[in-house]
Structure 1
Amino acid sequence: MRKLVYLSMLMLCLVGCGKGDTSYIPSVAVNFSAPLTDPRLSKLGGIGGSTVITGYGVAGLIIYRYGTGTNDYVAYDRCSSYLPQNKCAVTIDATGLTATDPCSGSKFLLSDGSPVKAPATRSLKSYSVYVSNFTIFVSN
């Protein structure tokens, strides 16, 4: 009986030690900061403004301003949540309200990162954002 228990435990370990779920955007260190007067952030001047910052996260960052308050910003990794191992970078649509994965056609709301068009079912990866002394900070 004891051998059967050990054999069962061994089988569970072997089955559970697979490659892992690759459907999540990888965690990478993000530490972006810039003064709000930085030309890259000029589109964040009003509600609904958004901009792309390259060189951070998995596929770059999207920063979106959803209100008039000092800290009314959100930031997402541009890596699509649909097949993230492909590292397909979403692009901001002309409306400024959504971003599209050019590889799959998935669409995401910029206000909260949620998917609004299949095949994506998971939100974009979000990062912490705060503003202090007219400088924006994005980190995880």
Structure 2
Amino acid sequence: MVRFRFACLGILTGLLTLSGCGGSSDLPSLGTVDGVVKLDGEPLEGVQVTFAPADKEGRVSFGMTDDSGYYSLKYSNNARGAVLGTHEVTMLTPLPGDLMPDEKFVERVPKKYQFESTLIATVDEGSNEIDFDLESY
């Protein structure tokens, strides 16, 4: 499971990196997206936030939470934001690069917000502030 998770995050990150190759004229209409992620009222640090268009049209956008739970989405290496419309939102704790073989990885995000998340967000034109107050139970 840990290898599968690592492979998925690697593939998604690679796709984000490759998507930065086109010129800015190739970009669809984007809205900037920023917000704060909390778990049981406390900021959730070091979590990857992913917005995937619900209609499966357009690329996925990613952001990483800082120590205050703040994230900002990137569409590509040279564009901030996400395509306009409804998105399925997932969150995961990326595997640390320095995890030793005898160490156990601890996922901080409850399963209900991971790969089969029911979180939905709408990105509008302009600036969007989208906060998430997650619950561990």
What's the TM-score once normalised by structure 2's chain length? 0.29
More RCO (CA 8 Å, sep 6+) = 2
Return the structure number with greater strand share.
Answer: 2
What's the TM-score once normalised by structure 1's chain length? 0.29
Larger Rg: 1
